[in-house]
Structure formats: structure tokens, C-alpha cells
């Protein structure tokens, strides 16, 4: 199976976690897009969605799926999204698609985070995938110097402006042995909007697409 076929299989398998009359948080990326295709088949059965990016909002609306403003909801029943890496403690690196800030906000509202990934994303130690960090543009160089001090090599993602008008630094060469500690530390650097480490609040369930079927990890 190709990687995209594995992504499609997990995207569709997440449907069983969407209960009738629920409010659904929707992630961003190619795996989440497969989930949106699946969600469209039961759109009449859900209350609505909250989206984590303009791209996902557009896709949801193209199917006629209701998209609510985040400020209109107190909580979400479930949030379904992909990841760039996930470890066996259900902690993740996210933000490959630059949507990390809205993804963190929407996941914070959700009672349950279902992570949908193909098997290549499951790792023992996070950090091979460069860690995305959303930064206020005027703080870019300052934040980059602070990240150097933490042992990483930040690279400015040229030409990318987030949905919130900020920029992304991708931090290479970090071996993330203590994800919660690092998430807290980077969050404390002035100018950082969001670090793409989802460690304090990880996934509740991971659906992993493999060549022999979709596996579940809790
Ligand atoms: C976007 C994300 C995505 O979930 C992550 O990049 C995985 O993307 P894909 O499903 O295309 O592999 O965090 O900001």
C-alpha cells in the first residue's frame, strides 16, 4: 500500500469515533483531508465542526458541512487530526502544515483527541521530524538564538505565513527525551506563539495505518 492509501484507511476508520449529534474538531493535512471526505458521508448526523485551518474550513464547506466559530462552543466531543510524529506515550510533533496554533486550540477544547497516522509516523523518541514553532515575525531572530541555546538548529520556513499572520521556525537536530519539559521551556520564550510539541496534552487514541490494517494505540 502507498503512504496515501494508509492515510486514507486511517482517515476513514476515525469515523467510528464520531457519535450522532456530536461536535467534531477537524484537523489539517492530507490525513485529516481523508477524514473530511469520510465525515461528509455522515454530515446530516452531526451538530457541526470546528476547524483548525482555513484550508480545512474550505474543504468542510465545499461538502456543506457546518463549520462553527471556536468562540461559539464550550467543548468538542472529539478532535480528529494527523501528526508528523507520535511516540508510545501518545505525545506528538505537529505543525508540518503550519496549522499548529489552531490545532492546539481546537484540541484543547476536545474531550477526546483521535490521532490518525500512517505507521511511518510512530517513533520511540520524538525529534527526527524538525519541530515547528510559530513565532511573531519581529521575534524571529531572537527566538532562533534561544533555540540554538537549547541545542537545536532552527531554520526559517521561507515564504510561509500562518493563518494567524506569523512565521514558522523548524528546529532540526533535537533529540526530545523530555517532551513536556521542552514544550514548557519553549512556550516560555517571548515571541513564541505555539510550539508544535503536543506533550502536556497528547492524543487519547492513535489510529495507525499499517499494511495489515488499522491498529489502535491508547
Ligand atoms: C498540520 C499538521 C498535520 O497533522 C501533520 O503535518 C501531518 O500531516 P499529513 O497528514 O499531511 O501527513 O500538524 O499542521
Give me ligand 1 centre to Cα 17, in Å.
20
Query: Candidates 10, 31, 97, 207: which one to mutate for ligand 1, based on the most atoms within 8 Å of Cβ?
Result: 97
Percent of the chain whose predicted confidence (pLDDT) is above 70: 100
181 is catalytic: no
HSE-up of residue 37 (Cα within 13 Å, Cβ side):
13
Give me ligand 1 centre to Cα 44, in Å.
27
- Ligand 1, atom 4: nearest CA belongs to which residue? 82
What are the start-end ranges of the H helices in 42-192?
54-62, 100-109, 140-149, 179-187
CA distance 218 to 204: 6
pLDDT digits (tens, 9 = 90+) for 64-120: 999 999 999 999 999 999 999 999 999 999 999 999 999 999 999 999 999 999 999
Query: Candidates 6, 14, 82: which one to mutate for ligand 1, based on the most atoms within 8 Å of Cβ?
Result: 82
Q: Cβ(157)–Cβ(98) under 8 Å?
A: yes
pLDDT of residue 175: 86
C-alpha cell at 150: 537549547
> For ligand 1, what atom is nearest to the CA of residue 116?
10
CA distance 76 to 207: 19
Cβ-proximal residues to 63 (8 Å cutoff; 6+ apart), any chain: 36, 39, 40, 43
- Ligand 1, atom 10: nearest CA belongs to which residue? 31
What DSSP letter does each residue of the chain carry, written as one string?
--HHHHHHHHHHHGGGG--TT-EEEE--SHHHHHHHHHHHTTGGGS-EEEESSHHHHHHHHHTT--B--GGG-S-BSEEEE--SEE-TTS-EE--TTS-HHHHHHHHHHBS-EEEEEEGGGB-SSB-SS-EEEEE-GGGHHHHHHHHHHTT-EEEE-TT---TTS-EEEEEES--BS-HHHHHHHHHTSTTEEEESEE-SS--SEEEEEETTEEEEE-
- Where do we find the cell 467510528? 16
pLDDT digits (tens, 9 = 90+) for 119-130: 999 999 999 999
Per annotation, catalytic residue among 85, 103, 134, 146:
103
Give me ligand 1 centre to Cα 143, in Å.
23
CA distance 163 to 93: 19
pLDDT of residue 201: 98
pLDDT digits (tens, 9 = 90+) for 162-213: 999 999 999 999 989 999 999 999 999 999 999 999 999 999 999 999 999 9
Query: Candidates 26, 30, 32, 160: which one to mutate for ligand 1, based on the most atoms within 8 Å of Cβ?
Result: 32
> For ligand 1, what atom is nearest to the CA of residue 117?
10
Amino acid at each position: 500500500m502507498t503512504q496515501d492509501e494508509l492515510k486514507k484507511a486511517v482517515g476513514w476508520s476515525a469515523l467510528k469515533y464520531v457519535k450522532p449529534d456530536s461536535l467534531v474538531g477537524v484537523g489539517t493535512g492530507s490525513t485529516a483531508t481523508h477524514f473530511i471526505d469520510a465525515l461528509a458521508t455522515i454530515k446530516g448526523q452531526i451538530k457541526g465542526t470546528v476547524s483548525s485551518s482555513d484550508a480545512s474550513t474550505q474543504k468542510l464547506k465545499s461538502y456543506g458541512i457546518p463549520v462553527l466559530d471556536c468562540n461559539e462552543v464550550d467543548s468538542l466531543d472529539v478532535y480528529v487530526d494527523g501528526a508528523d510524529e507520535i511516540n508510545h506515550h501518545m505525545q506528538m510533533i505537529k505543525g508540518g502544515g503550519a496549522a499548529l496554533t489552531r490545532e492546539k486550540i481546537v484540541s484543547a477544547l476536545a474531550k477526546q483527541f483521535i490521532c490518525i497516522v500512517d505507521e511511518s509516523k510512530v517513533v520511540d523518541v520524538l525529534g527526527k521530524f524538525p519541530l515547528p514553532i510559530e513565532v511573531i515575525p519581529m521575534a524571529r531572530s531572537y527566538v532562533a538564538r534561544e533555540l540554538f541555546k537549547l541545542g537545536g538548529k532552527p531554520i526559517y520556513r521561507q515564504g510561509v505565513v500562518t493563518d494567524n499572520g506569523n512565521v514558522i521556525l523548524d528546529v532540526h537536530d533535537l533529540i526530545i527525551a523530555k517532551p513536556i519539559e521542552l514544550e514548557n521551556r519553549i512556550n516560555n520564550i517571548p515571541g513564541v506563539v505555539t510550539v508544535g510539541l503536543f506533550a502536556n496534552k497528547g492524543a487519547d487514541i492513535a489510529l495507525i495505518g499499517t499494511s495489515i490494517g488499522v491498529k489502535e494505540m491508547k
